[in-house]
Structure 1
């Protein structure tokens, strides 16, 4: 809003989005002193409840006071120029409506915590206090301390008083009106500051500099600092570059004298100043790398552009190793040259690490990177960089769809089939691929989906003509698809040729690979040492006290851990039930495979990449770089190693537990298994030498595995789409999962039956399944019951069905006995 819109006599109100799970905005009064500056999309600080101060976003400005409550004043305006764009506010509302959650939950996830304020209690002397006779001795001493400080935090007060429990004294002083408590609100984001040094004005001319050097002959340490400075900014460049100075670290980390530097600063020969610098370093190439497409890639890129003239969404179906990234780069360059923005989504941080290095060589500092391993301050820098126009192109994971981009020309969603794009907890339970499509369509951008194994839904849309389809069937350069061989575990066990969990075929090929100095990837989609600990005497199994699952045995950290609630226990020395010492591990995870490999191949350099080894910020990068540079012989990992990683020297991939993936009780199990096995297989033989993939299985005749062996996506899709049609599953229906939770099983079950009956009355038996116990029936001490809604897209008003579901959930919570039952709605559950 501009100043001339406002009248000094008019009272304005703002509807703000609060970061709370309440399905509406709240109205606050706008103080007159910043009425002319407040705008939609600006962040403000408001009081919510009695003691809570939160960051809110202005959604609407008007002159109508609320009818049911007295509007509180907005406490502070944080932005003159809004950090939340109209496009983002539209997206927040769309996500809240589509995924059946609250707009405040969307805002809370979307806005990085570095852009939210924190509050801290402080105390100060009450200037109106004039009854010192009321104070006790300790209180008098504390008041004297306060007189010498403007204010103190609670922790500061503890240090000055020298006692841990000062609550009674503080409470007494407040009661006597001697001190005032208040909340100091601060923004969390802090720019990175660099200290720099430069010559004072008057020493910038060549004559003045030489005279200065001569005058310091008797002070060689001071003279050496000036000479060091002139190495970085030569005399003939001083007039132009002296203003920018050099980093102070050049003098504090080398052999120069700190005291000599201080003397030169004191004399006024040098001066120190501070500048705000980027947290992302200066790894910008001198000359941008030029990408040259092969004939097949150029044809695919041209076809994508041609399809974009007909369709807004195009699916690029390119086999593993076909060079889709180069095609993306070609298209990104064209869009950026046209002045529009580009958003490039990837499913995993592990994938961003390798691709970012390649993209940086092409786009340099024009490109921003955004993912959850970044610190709050780093994410805020990217956010502000987009608002200020420094970043026209951003590559990021799921959360990057919330960035303030409002001039999108292209949205790329790579590996679009990946379930990592789906947010499970907390709300909003959105799918970044689908949100990315809506974001692009809203802004008039083109959307490119890429995958070697497209999701059934996306391929169906392409087959039925809603999406354009471009196919790339040739690997980049001279690389060929690997040979995929099924290894019969039944035959190996019968012949007693297994070595731990390794077939003799896989063992011998790893040995051969090591001899040839080639690299191996071992895939097992289960982390930890083994799934559980078992007593051989009484059959006791280690189970979580809060969830209906076994505790996973982690040998490296010597603990039993629940992968659902995070509960940890020490490994028992004896069975807690019968006291037997005969405890054994059952099954195997990545940690056990890593240990077995190190024992079987004692000279091999083995490294593991799973959630446990990649918790720190740079862990992904370090593991990938070490493997890429040949510092590791064997990489053991979970699904994160399957996603688009590109290694020159990998000639062998070994896959465990393929049967478990295929037979998991979920309608998408076969789709995920086909995608995972194909993607992992694609890591082998990505250069001139043909690779080999060994899949260990108990059923070599399994039809899905046979299709993986010959890379028959079309055959797999034809079979799967027929099954989905017959059994009324997506893409022919929309699935909504409703989970009811309570600490008491009976209450959760009763509420689930109540809700299911209400839904059945209107939607019918074909559309309402359940309630049934969840696959994991108890998590974090709450019992779970599921109701599944299958809503056909072409015969039903989905929006009306969702509205009815909302009404029934509200009605459930109006019932006294069901009031405390939690209800979680997951739209498009995967």
Structure 2
């Protein structure tokens, strides 16, 4: 009987594809295994088996798979269900979900290779160069294109190979390799004949004339002393330790050749191990213990519990207590964090409690490190994983608890590429599927989550006192209009903020300055002709980065050097306008030359360990002032921070978005929470032109419930989430008129189906042109109680196919963002 498999391919095509299994692999392949298949004429890719059956496809002849990569599944049935649910809900394809879910190291890479054709017997057809090239192929079996290029030097490689292919002298093929490589280390030990103190001493004496070999042996015996040799020799030592001791490589090689030393390889983890005696217990305060008990009690009746704990209340300790209880019950735990910046401090604390049973998963890890965590979860080596949003796709088989810390964070939502999923919402669906529980934690919960708690769908637990003797900070609004009138501003710093920073430095305390804009300044401006540099691909100004001496577009990455004079009029009077984190850092160094100043934003944290290094320096007290973007607002806990300064609060509040008030409240409250974490009361200074703004007043009063009550009335009045679902459609094309026309056609069709009141737009995008494509946006507002969301999505799918298959609009792209944030 012929055996066929349906597979998910990592391409944006909605259907599964059917391939034929060779007979000898029919019993080895399982659902969840990876196979290598040819797709199209020449593309080779990793596919995922989702079904095994005996039915050939009706519309096309089934190709044979090229290779079976696994004999045991690397993806679980629950994951396959999740890929399909995410694709259905977020209106993308299972292949796009698979592409994001699987670490790159589990996908194959292919390389073009050249091989001698064993059926070729016409040497007389070859030139002298071709003959010498063929000799290399016979000797090497096969070589890569790159190696062939080096052999031929100046020759035209494609022309040369084309000639050999025409003569049937060579075969071109794709060699497929798995990217993941286990980490192997070389180990060294004495041969068992010498593994006693007596025999080792005799050996040492016999090497008297071979001084360098004797040095190698002496170094080995300094690591494993004679009195421990018979006990520890079998385990050996890392070869690298001997090499670091600068012993002679040739002497070591000679001892291995003689059989005095044995060398072998072992596979090791890429993650540092933690000594068991460094593991710590935690002690909960009475308030924390009460919160933990309440959460566990609610889990008996609620699938999801919202934990509303103010900043500094010690939510992490409560999480640890609940994680321990879940692990003790024999289930797996996933702890989600919104971004990598948060993992540094929290992971350190969790590692001290859970040691090597804990895995860490985020995009700054190498492909190989991520695959090791993936396999560790699959084999249940890691019962507990801390990770960012993509870790929701790990292969858990016995998941009992998911914690979503800082659940309000927009970083949980993926924007590009598809799937544009929200990890918090996917976590809730996964937990329902696996009969697990979800704990959402935040000092400033999202409106949606707090509404669900208020209406009884989620459980709600509040923790409203800070841990220990810590007090909430004193929050003060600094009126920048008054400062300008009095001319007391220094650069963009109010006199109040500068005085507080100076006092903090004198008192050996630390300060955090928050500005949600990176770079030196938002733009340059010519004082003579008003020229402002714009991106040549996007309708935005270029941000000035002083240290890199470049102007950069933060949308497409385009950059150019800073001009010495205005390119429009030749004037040398070109100055920076506005303030970014880089400028604040420079200004602070100038105003407080004796102070240590550090910056934490996307530009300073691109490398793998940059976060750890910056946080480490700040923790030790070497740095007085930390300047940063959103990265400094959450999850960080520093003993000496006594002052937080907030720049441009008005821009956060007045951003043209229905969520701007909510985001401003969350960001400013979160960064305020970094101040005064111990006995001393911290100070927060918010620079604003409008101190009477209602959002700022709620922040000053630390009144989340008041803010929520005010905001939820507006949301209900205008039918915004949580009372509706929003689907955002972005229509894009290089031709502005075509993009606008396509958007108008799509909007009209959806209005005809849903009614005028449910469709907003089309409007020009907030940034109209990005990467040379013009953007027009349509918003669909769908009431949760009245609408059949699934039927509406199906109709939208059909209309999108209808639109982009029309000849006129074939170049148009439509991006669908379900539950846009």
TM-score (norm 1): 0.98
CA distance in 2, matches of 1:620, 1:107: 29
Q: Does 1:570 align with 2:561?
A: yes
Shift, 1:572, TM fit = 1.5
Residue 593 (structure 2) aligns with: 602
| Mapped contact 1:95–1:435 kept (Cα < 8 A) | yes
Residue 328 (structure 1) aligns with: 319
Shift, 1:162, TM fit = 2.2
CA distance in 2, matches of 1:381, 1:255: 32
Residue 175 (structure 2) aligns with: 184
Shift, 1:281, TM fit = 1.9
CA distance in 1, matches of 2:782, 2:754: 9
Shift, 1:255, TM fit = 4.4
| Mapped contact 1:28–1:71 kept (Cα < 8 A) | yes
Shift, 1:287, TM fit = 3.8
After TM superposition, the structure 1 = structure 2 runs for residues 775-814 of structure 1, keeping only pairs within 5 Å, are 775-814=766-805
Q: Deviations over 1:439-498 (max 9, x none)?
A: 111111110000000000000000000000000001011111100000010011100010
Shift, 1:236, TM fit = 5.1
Greater shift, 208-217 or 764-773, is seen at 208-217
SS at match of 1:766: helix
| Mapped contact 2:378–2:397 kept (Cα < 8 A) | no
| Mapped contact 1:594–1:607 kept (Cα < 8 A) | yes
| Mapped contact 1:423–1:429 kept (Cα < 8 A) | yes
Q: 1:468 aligns with which of 439, 459, 470?
A: 459
Structure 1 runs (4+) deviating above 6 angstroms are none
Shift, 1:239, TM fit = 4.4
Q: Deviations over 1:373-399 (max 9, x none)?
A: 001111011111111221010000011
Q: Deviations over 1:340-365 (max 9, x none)?
A: 00000000101001111111111110
| Mapped contact 1:655–1:695 kept (Cα < 8 A) | yes
Residue 5 (structure 1) aligns with: none
SS at match of 1:14: strand
Residue 752 (structure 1) aligns with: 743
Residue 652 (structure 2) aligns with: 661
Residue 337 (structure 2) aligns with: 346
Shift, 1:169, TM fit = 1.0
Residue 614 (structure 1) aligns with: 605
Shift, 1:327, TM fit = 0.5
| Mapped contact 1:251–1:258 kept (Cα < 8 A) | no
Q: Does 1:587 align with 2:592?
A: no
TM-score (norm 2): 0.99
After TM superposition, the structure 1 = structure 2 runs for residues 101-112 of structure 1, keeping only pairs within 5 Å, are 101-112=92-103
Shift, 1:127, TM fit = 0.8
SS at match of 1:693: strand
Q: 1:145 aligns with which of 129, 133, 136?
A: 136
Shift, 1:237, TM fit = 4.4
Q: Deviations over 1:725-751 (max 9, x none)?
A: 001100000000001100001111111
Shift, 1:652, TM fit = 0.5
CA distance in 2, matches of 1:207, 1:494: 89
| Mapped contact 1:284–1:360 kept (Cα < 8 A) | no
SS at match of 1:704: helix
Q: Which runs of 5+ in 1 are unaligned?
A: 1-9
| Mapped contact 1:284–1:365 kept (Cα < 8 A) | no
CA distance in 1, matches of 2:169, 2:155: 21
Q: Deviations over 1:71-124 (max 9, x none)?
A: 110110001111011111011000000000011000000001111010001101
After TM superposition, the structure 1 = structure 2 runs for residues 211-610 of structure 1, keeping only pairs within 5 Å, are 211-235=202-226, 237-610=228-601
Residue 702 (structure 1) aligns with: 693
Residue 155 (structure 1) aligns with: 146
Q: Does 1:638 align with 2:629?
A: yes
| Mapped contact 1:284–1:361 kept (Cα < 8 A) | no
| Mapped contact 1:482–1:682 kept (Cα < 8 A) | yes
Residue 168 (structure 1) aligns with: 159
CA distance in 1, matches of 2:432, 2:150: 57
Residue 14 (structure 2) aligns with: 23
Shift, 1:437, TM fit = 1.0
SS at match of 2:193: coil
Shift, 1:224, TM fit = 4.0
Q: Deviations over 1:282-335 (max 9, x none)?
A: 344424110111111001001100111110100000000000000000111111
Shift, 1:647, TM fit = 0.5
CA distance in 1, matches of 2:274, 2:508: 31
Q: Which runs of 5+ in 2 are unaligned?
A: none
Residue 5 (structure 2) aligns with: 14
CA distance in 1, matches of 2:433, 2:621: 45
CA distance in 2, matches of 1:736, 1:145: 60
CA distance in 1, matches of 2:722, 2:693: 25
| Mapped contact 1:670–1:704 kept (Cα < 8 A) | yes
CA distance in 1, matches of 2:743, 2:538: 19
| Mapped contact 2:743–2:778 kept (Cα < 8 A) | yes
CA distance in 2, matches of 1:514, 1:607: 14
Greater shift, 725-734 or 132-141, is seen at 132-141
Q: Deviations over 1:777-821 (max 9, x none)?
A: 111101111110000001111111111111111111222111221
Residue 711 (structure 2) aligns with: 720
CA distance in 2, matches of 1:322, 1:610: 26
Residue 4 (structure 1) aligns with: none
| Mapped contact 1:460–1:731 kept (Cα < 8 A) | yes
Residue 120 (structure 1) aligns with: 111
CA distance in 2, matches of 1:773, 1:284: 57
CA distance in 2, matches of 1:309, 1:145: 71
Q: Deviations over 1:681-729 (max 9, x none)?
A: 0000001111100000001111110110110000000000000000110
CA distance in 1, matches of 2:325, 2:219: 45
